[in-house]
Amino acid sequence: MQIGVTRSNTFINLIPVFVAVVSYLILKEELGAQIIIGIVIVVAGLFLVQIKRKPGIKKDAVIEVHQK
């Protein structure tokens, strides 16, 4: 299964999340509120990027205005 360069590139943003979780589990470091909020923002951003648009909606739709 291949996911492509564009989709796989978005998962690079998960590296700091994994580092924070592993350092918490292995090194017993504390996860402060700032780190937890950062993790939530990164994960939410990844979910938003992965959402597929409906086929009928175009990103750069042009609206024509006709004057009488």
Domain ranges across the chain: 1-68
pLDDT score of 60: 60
Local confidence pLDDT in tens for the 68 residues of the chain: 677 777 777 778 889 999 999 999 999 999 999 999 999 999 998 888 778 766 665 556 667 777 76
pLDDT score of 26: 95
pLDDT score of 37: 95
pTM over 0.85, yes/no: no
Sign for the pseudo-dihedral over CA of 23, 25, 26, 30: positive
pLDDT score of 54: 66
The Cα 46–Cα 15 span in angstroms is 12
